[in-house]
Structure 1
């Protein structure tokens, strides 16, 4: 299954989209909330049910001990976001000041996420937040670049408006350069289009010279629930947002399989220190929203 990282030029529904994709997947799925500016799902969708004792920040100390310890901590800090426990969240930072501590943790976390996707058959989504640049390159602290390098797809989230396209335009070339130099190629870059605005997907793709790999409808009621939590709206499971998100996850899986064949990639050898993470994931301690 693919690892898909979502990024944006500015807040434009990236987190709600990542949640929709995770919840709509037909397969076990995981959302890693890795925005260095801080996570919002804990206080929003989960309405404070998850304390600061869970989450991304705690992986930094474990990684400094070793791979096995990181795998154990990763499994321990997941939180179920559906009744059956098939969809899980790694809650994000509670304070942006914590971000520098994770600089050396990102590569190891990227490896864990690849294990979940390749060996455990999870759809893995990474909310990498708003991209920050420094001298035309991805900022080394304010962007989790190693997670983008390891992803099968990097989706730049945009709305179909002039404002959103203008903000996104300056990120395309730095992202292409980053993926060509440090990952498997800039063809991993695509757009996630939020259909809020006058432009059609073909027009957006042409404007940014980047393919639209997934599109989600402007469904304010469902997106509001995913953003602030509370009582699910009537017909939530059949809402336009979740139906289109389900189709998007299927499309991304098919694209990932074709791209893997094109790259002639064989299955990577699993780090023996991480092999146990699969069992730990099944038995992970943590609550469940329901």
Structure 2
């Protein structure tokens, strides 16, 4: 299964899009909130049901102990978002000042996310937040750069509006140049939120980047995913979730085709992370375990 990272030039629905994809995925899924500016799913969609003892910040200390400690910390921090435990959240930071502690943790976390995708069979969605650059490159503290370099797909989330396209133009060229310069195997594409006057083909032409998936403008469902509370009527059949399921399948197919076309070398083996797969298999039965 693929690791798919979502980012934006500015606040553009990254978290709602990533959450919709994870919830609607036909396969088990993990949403990793890796925005250095802080996560919002804990306080929004999950209505503060997850306390500060779980989440991204605690991985930094575990990583300094070693790979086993980090793998166990990730498995312990994955929080179920459905009754069956098939959709899991790695909650994000509660305080942006915690972000510098994660700079050396991102590469090891990237390894674990790929184990979850390739060994445990999860669709992994990474909320990378707003792109931040320094000296023309992804900022090492204000962006989860190693996660983006290691992702199978990186999706720049845009709306079909003049403002959104103008902002996207400022970041997509340096992002593409960085991937090219580093010989990254990441594929760069667009996720279009269908708000505004520009359809997919015009957005793709304007940004010289393919639109790999699109989600409809659905304020009621998006509001529920943002704030939580009582779901709107017809939530399970809402346009956003129906299209998100199709989009997740499309993105998985894109990633698989690209693996074949690129004839990627065999992935690295992480035998020290085998325990995380077993832990996930246990916690996926019947939801979270104490």
* Counterpart Cα distance in 2 of 1:275 and 1:183: 28
Classify the secondary structure of the residue corresponding to 2:272. coil
C-alpha displacement of 1:121: 1.1
- In 2, the alpha carbon distance for the partners of 1:216 and 1:98 equals 32
In 1, distance between residues paired with 2:112 and 2:48? 27
- The answer (yes or no) to whether the contact 1:40–1:92 under 8 Å persists in 2 is yes
Aligned residue in 1 for 2:229? 230
Q: Normalising by structure 2, what TM-score? A: 0.96
Separation in 2, partners of 1:126, 1:70:
18
The equivalent of 2:97 in structure 1 is 97
The corresponding residue for 1:281 is 280
Aligned to 1:202: 201
Deviation digits for residues 47-68 of structure 1, max 9, x if unmatched? 1111111100000000001001
* TM-score w.r.t. length of structure 1: 0.96
Q: Name the SS of the counterpart of 2:274 in structure 1.
A: coil
The structural deviation recorded for 1:185 is 4.2
How far residue 179 of structure 1 moved from its aligned partner, in angstroms, is 1.5
> What CA distance in whole angstroms lies between the structure 1 residues aligned with 2:287 and 2:85?
9
Once residues 221 and 130 of structure 1 are traced to their aligned partners in structure 2, the CA distance between those partners, rounded to angstroms, is 23
Residue in 1 that maps onto 2:255: 256
CA RMSD of aligned residues (A): 1.4
- In the TM superposition, 1:51-62 aligns within 5 A as 51-62=51-62
Tell me if the contact between 1:150 and 1:183 (Cα under 8 Å) persists in the aligned partners.
no
Extract unaligned runs of 5+ from structure 2.
Answer: none
After superposition, residues 28-43 of structure 1 pair within 5 angstroms as 28-43=28-43
Q: Tell me if the contact between 2:149 and 2:185 (Cα under 8 Å) persists in the aligned partners.
A: no
SS of residue in 2 equivalent to 1:221 = helix
Residue 206 of structure 2 is aligned to residue 180 of structure 1: no
Counterparts of 1:172 and 1:92 in 2: how far apart (Å)?
25
Q: Which runs of 5+ in 1 are unaligned?
A: none
Report if the CA contact (8 A) 1:46-1:229 is conserved.
yes
Answer yes or no: is the 8 Å Cα contact 1:6–1:128 preserved in 2.
Answer: yes
SS at match of 1:274: helix
Aligned to 2:244: 245
3-state secondary structure, aligned to 2:61: helix
